[in-house]
Each structure stands twice: as C-alpha cells, then as structure tokens.
Amino acid sequence: MTSLAFVSSVPLLSRSHSVSFFASHRGKQLSISHRHRKHPPTTTTQATPLRATPRASVFKDLLAGPSDPPKPRPLYQVILFTVTTNFLWYGWYKYCIEQELRALTGEGPGGVGALLPFVLGVTSPLYLPTGGPAEVGVAAGVLWIVSVQYYLYRRINALMVAKGNTPPLTPWWIVIPGFNLVVGLRSVHFLSLAFGAKRDADPVIDIFPFLGKETLGLWELVVTPSLWLQVGRRK
C-alpha cells in the first residue's frame, strides 16, 4: 500500500512562507521546497538625448544664415564649403557677414547691397549688347566688389583695434595679384576672431602661419620661408 504524509507549516510573523511537501512511495522520499522573496525595486534609467551627428552639424553650419550676435566662421570651414560647392557658398558667406557687420556696426552696404550690383554687372552680357555696354557693365561690377572688399578689410581692422589688437590687414594688397588672395584669406580668419572665435581653433593657421600672423608685411612674407608652411607643428 502506498502511504502519503503531508505536513504544512506557515510562519505567521515572517515575510516569507514555506511549504514542505513530503511524499513517500516504495521507500523513496521526495522533498519540494518553495520560497517567495521580495524582489528588489526595479530601477528606471532616463533615455540619453540624441546628439547631432557630424553630418547634421556640417549641414547646419553650411546653411546657417546671418545671426545676432555674429557667428564666427573659421577659415578651414569657409575654404571647405567654398571649394566643395564650386564657390557658390562663398556668395552666401559674403551675404551673411555683410548683414552681420551692418547690424553690429551700423556701417556697410549689407548683404544685398554688396552682392546685387556685382551680380548685375558680371551678368550684363546676358541682357546688354556686346561691343561696349556689356563690357562696361562687367567692369563696373568687378570694380564694385573690389571696393566693397577694400571697405570690408578696413572694418575688420577697426573691429580688431576695438578689441585691443593692432590692425592685421593691409587693405591695398587687394590690387596686387597673389597678395589679394593672401589678404582675402587673412580677412576670413581675423573676422572670425573679431566675432569671438578662439585663436587656436583653426588648423589651417597651423599649416600656413602667415595667414594668422597678427601683423604681416609684404616684404616680410616674401623673405621669411618659415611663414609659408609648417607641417606637424603647432604654434
């Protein structure tokens, strides 16, 4: 005959309870024990906000318009966006800085005033007869943008002087082939500084020291090779 014994115990003042079940069958004993315990409270973690990807940041900088206060645009960024867009982005850059300078100082033609006469002039062969009027229109457009750039360099010098620095640009270099490119690149860098950028935030300046030198003479640039190029060395 099969015998069955059942014993149950329930502690009254305990946070857990146990049930013991004993069964014997043909001399074999089976013991089952089950215990309930309180589980630790579940902790929740807050989701980490998504960060902008580098690609999103690049497009944000690429499409950023005029801002107040003015937005620093480092030289490496201006070169990158200008080259990759076949110089189209430089027109947008020119518009933005002229708008920002006019809002900041109350001087200058503004973005539209700087670009519209130039565009109308260089495209005059599309709507004016050649052999005189169109050529005059092109020359007038070029002369206008050169004068606007010259005035820009003077305003950048004034901003740097207001910050306690010496004037970094030589505006009349704009009429010397080769040096007009030098003063143009330097103007981008020093305008970025005038708008609040850090001096060591532009890797292009590390490679081409003459672009970031606070004062630069024409003859100094010609006879000082150490200013031309430095690779693998920071200032």
138-168 residue pLDDT tens: 999 999 999 999 999 999 999 999 999 999 9
Quote the pTM value: 0.75
- d(CA 198, CA 122) in angstroms, rounded, equals 37
What are the structure tokens assigned to 52, written together? 């902008």
In whole angstroms, give the CA distance from residue 48 to residue 11.
Answer: 46
CB-neighbour burial class of residue 182 (10 A; exposed 0-12, middle 13-18, buried 19+):
buried
Distance of CA 12 to the CA centre of its chain: 69
DSSP the chain: ---B-------TT-SS-EEEEEEEETTEEEEEEEE--PPPPPP--PPPPPPPPHHHHHHHHHH----SSPPP--HHHHHHHHHHTTTHHHHHHHHHHHHHHHHHHS-S-HHHHHHHHHHHHHTGGGTS-TTTHHHHHHHHHHHHHHHHHHHHHHHHHHHHHHTT------GGGGGSTTHHHHHHHHHHHHHHHHTT--TTS-HHHHH-GGGT-SS--HHHHHH-GGGT--SS---
Longest dimension (CA), the chain: 128
Quick one: pLDDT band at residue 53, thresholds 50, 70, 90? low
Neighbour count for residue 92 (Cβ, 10 Å): 19
Instruction: Give the pLDDT confidence of 104-130 residue by residue, as tens digits.
Output: 999 999 999 999 999 999 999 999 998
Each residue's pLDDT tens digit, 195-230: 999 877 799 999 999 999 999 999 999 999 999 998
Integer Cα distance of 210 and 202 in angstroms = 13
- Spatial separation of the C-alpha atoms in residues 156 and 160, rounded to whole Å: 6
Distance CA 179, CA 181 (A): 5
